Chain A
Amino acid sequence: MPWTEPIIDRTFADVINGTSKGYINASDLNRIEGNCEYLADKLTEYGYRISISTKTDWTMQDFPYRSEIDRIRDNVNALINAYYKMQGSPDIRYWGSLDWRDANSLEQNIKNIDILLQRMIAGFKRCGTFRSGQEVVLL
C-alpha cells in the first residue's frame, strides 16, 4: 500500500462546524488501514516481526463495528510494540465510540512511527562506504 499523509490536526471546531475533518468516512479508515499496512510491510522489510490484519476497501455500505475499530486500534499498538513509541505519542483509547481526539491519536502514532522509520533509514550506512576500525561520526 502507498503511504498517505495522515490527518492529525482535527479540532473540536471541526466537529462543531461539521467540516470534513470532523467526520470519519470510509476514505479515512482506508487511509489509516493503508498506512498501517505500509508500515507493517516496511518494518517486515527491515527485519522486524510484525503481523497485522487490515481492511483497505471500506465503503459507505460497511459498518464500523466495535470489533473492527478495536482491530485498527490493536494494529497501531502492534506497530508500536514491534518497533518503538516516540516520546510524547498519545495513548490509544479503547471505548465504544471514536471522537476527534481518538482519530488524531491513531494517526499521530502512525505518523510518528513513520518519522522514526525514516530517520532509521536515513542513518543506514551503505556497504563499502566504511570499514572496520574506521572512526565514524554518529549523528
Chain B
Amino acid sequence: MLSLVQNPYSPERWSAVRVVFQLVDVDAAEDATPTATSEAEISKLEQTHNRVVEMEKRLATLEQNYFLLDGSFLLPDETDNGEVGWWSGEISDSNGNFDIPQALEFVFSEPQSSIGFTVIFDDKAEEYASNFKIEVFDASDELLAEDNVVGNTSAHYISETPVDGYRRVKITFIKTAVPFRRVRVCEVIFGIVQVFSGKDVTQLKLLQQVSVGMESLPSNELTVTLENLSRRYNMANPQGIYKYLQDGQPLDVKIGVGESQNSIEYVNAGRYYYTSSKAQDSSMTAQIIANDWLYFLEGKCQIGTTGTWTVDEAVAAVIADSGLPITTNIPSSIGNRVINKCIPQDTTHREALRMIAQASMSACFFNRDDELEFVDLALGDVVDELGNSNLYEPAEISVSDPINTVKITVRDEYAQTETVYTATNKKLDETEKVKPINNPLVANQDVAEWLLSVYQKRIYYDLRERGNPAREIADTVRIYDVYGENRNAIITKQEYIYDGALRANSEAWEGL
C-alpha cells in the first residue's frame, strides 16, 4: 500500500490521472549552469535542471488572491521545501506583466543538442507564464532558434524546436497567466516531456495483476484514450506527437484523488512502455496502449543447463539474457531459494521468469516502481476495507474446483532425466482430482506441497468498487460480504478505470 494522505473514499471525491512521457538529453541537464534575473527567498535555482519534473508541494504565498483557504496550500518552510525550482523575485503587475522581464538562462561548457525544450512551471498550483520567449544560442552567441510563446495555457509547455550545437538557452518571461504572480519554473527539460492529463484523457484503463500459483505471468497494461477533436494526435503527421512515441518509450502514470478539486493527491501508478496506438471513433479519439516489461520479454532464453542455482542468480541471468534494463526487488528469503537451472531451450524469457517464480513458491509481477518484484503471496496486515461504502455491488464470491493432488513433472532436457513430485490430501472415499504441472525448474517436494495448499484455498472475490489508487497488488484487504463472513483476502487483480471519475474492477483471493 502506497502512502496517501487524502481519504481515497471520501463521500465527495475528485479524481484525476496523469500520463507523462519524456525524450530528454540527459547530458545537457548535467552540463547546465543556470542564472536568473531575480530570485525569491524560497527559490532553488539549481533545481531547474535536476530532472525532477514536479513541484513537491502546493506552497502557500501571499501573492494576491492565491492562498485559497481550502487547506491544500502548505505553509512553506524557511529553509527546505523540497522541489521548488526557480521563483522570480519580482511579481507581475495587475495585468500580469513584468516591469522588467524575468529571465532564466542556462549556459553549457560543451555544445548540446535537443529535439526540443520543455518548460515545467508550478504544476501543483497550476501557475504559469502566458507570454515568454525561448532563445537558443551557439558558442559565438549567434541565435540558432527562437520560440515566441503568446497565450500559453498550461503548466507544461513543449517547444518542438530541434537544435544542434547550442551553448546557451535563455527564457525570458514577459507575462504571467494571472496578475500579481511570480514566475515559477520547476524544471527546464532539454528535450520533450508530454503530459496527458484530465483535459486530454477521455478514458484511462490500467490493469495490474498477479497469478495465484504462477500458472501464468500476465503483463500489466495501460490503455489511454485521448480526446482528438483538434486532430492533435494525428498518427499520419510526421511532425505530431506520435513521431516521439516508439516501441518501448516509457510512460509514467499517476492517479490522483482528493476531497476537492484543489486537494487532489497523486499516487504513482507505475511505468509502462509504449506498444501500439490507433485512431478511434473516426479519429475523434486516439488510443495509446502500453505494457510493463513482461510484454517485451518474448525473446528466447538460451541459458538453460543442468544443475541448480538460487532464485537471485536465475532471475539475474534471465534478465541479462533478455538485454532489457529491468530492475528487481527480491527479498533474500526468496532470492536464496534453490531451483533447477534447466530452463528448456527456446523458452521465452517471460516463461522462464514464470517458472522461476513457481519453482521458488513465490509470485512475481511488476510493481509501481517498475521493479520485477517477487513476493510470498500470503495474507498480511489489512491495509484497506471493502464494504458497502466503497463497493458498487456486494462482493461476488466464487469457489474454484476442488483439487486433492498436485503432480509436478520435472524434466531436465540437458541431463535427460525426469522426476515427478506428488502432493496429495485425498481422503479414502474421495475421487482423485489431479492438477498436473510441468515445471523443469522445481527442485524439491516442497513446491508440490505449496501448490496443493494454494489450490486448497478456493475462494475468489470479484469486486466492483470505487478504487483506491494507493492499494497495490498482493495487498491484504478485508472484504465485507453478504454472508457476514468478512474475510481477509489478497488483491490479485486491479483494473482502474478513469473516464472523468475513478472506479475499479478488482479480484481477490482468500490467500494462504
Counting contact residues on chain A (CB < 8 A from B), the size range is 20 to 34
Determine if B281 is an interface residue (Cβ-Cβ < 8 Å).
no
Contacts A66-B75, A67-B78 given; does A60 touch B64 at CB 8 Å: yes
* Nearest-Cβ distance from residue B355 to partner chain A, whole angstroms: 50
Binds A, one of B55-63, B414-422, B457-465: B55-63
Determine if B41 is an interface residue (Cβ-Cβ < 8 Å).
yes
Q: Are A103 and B91 in contact (CB under 8 A)?
A: no
- Encode A6-18 as 1/0 by CB contact (under 8 A) with B: 0000100011101
Give chain B residues whose Cβ lies under 8 Å from the Cβ of A14.
69
Q: Are A64 and B62 in contact (CB under 8 A)?
A: yes
Contacts A99-B69, A99-B70, A100-B69 given; does A66 touch B63 at CB 8 Å: no
Contacts A23-B68, A23-B69, A61-B91 given; does A97 touch B74 at CB 8 Å: yes
Contacts A26-B62, A96-B75, A97-B60 given; does A63 touch B70 at CB 8 Å: no
Q: Are B69 and A64 in contact (CB under 8 A)?
A: no
Give chain A residues whose Cβ lies under 8 Å from the Cβ of B91.
60-61
Q: Are A69 and B62 in contact (CB under 8 A)?
A: no
CA distance A66 to B80 in the complex (A): 12
Give chain A residues whose Cβ lies under 8 Å from the Cβ of B42.
63
Give chain A residues whose Cβ lies under 8 Å from the Cβ of B72.
97
Determine if A53 is an interface residue (Cβ-Cβ < 8 Å).
no
Determine if B331 is an interface residue (Cβ-Cβ < 8 Å).
no
Q: Are A62 and B62 in contact (CB under 8 A)?
A: yes
Q: Are A98 and B68 in contact (CB under 8 A)?
A: no
CA distance A100 to B260 in the complex (A): 14
Q: Are A103 and B62 in contact (CB under 8 A)?
A: no
Give chain B residues whose Cβ lies under 8 Å from the Cβ of A10.
69
Interface residues of B in 38-67 (CB under 8 A from A): 40-42, 60-67
Q: Are B75 and A23 in contact (CB under 8 A)?
A: no
* Nearest-Cβ distance from residue B203 to partner chain A, whole angstroms: 27
Q: Are B62 and A97 in contact (CB under 8 A)?
A: no
Chain B residues near A (Cβ < 8 Å): 40-42, 60-78, 91, 180, 260
Question: What are 18 A-to-B residue pairs whose CB atoms are below 8 Å?
Answer: A10-B69, A18-B65, A23-B65, A24-B67, A25-B62, A58-B62, A60-B61, A60-B62, A61-B62, A61-B91, A63-B76, A64-B61, A64-B62, A64-B75, A65-B75, A66-B77, A97-B73, A100-B70
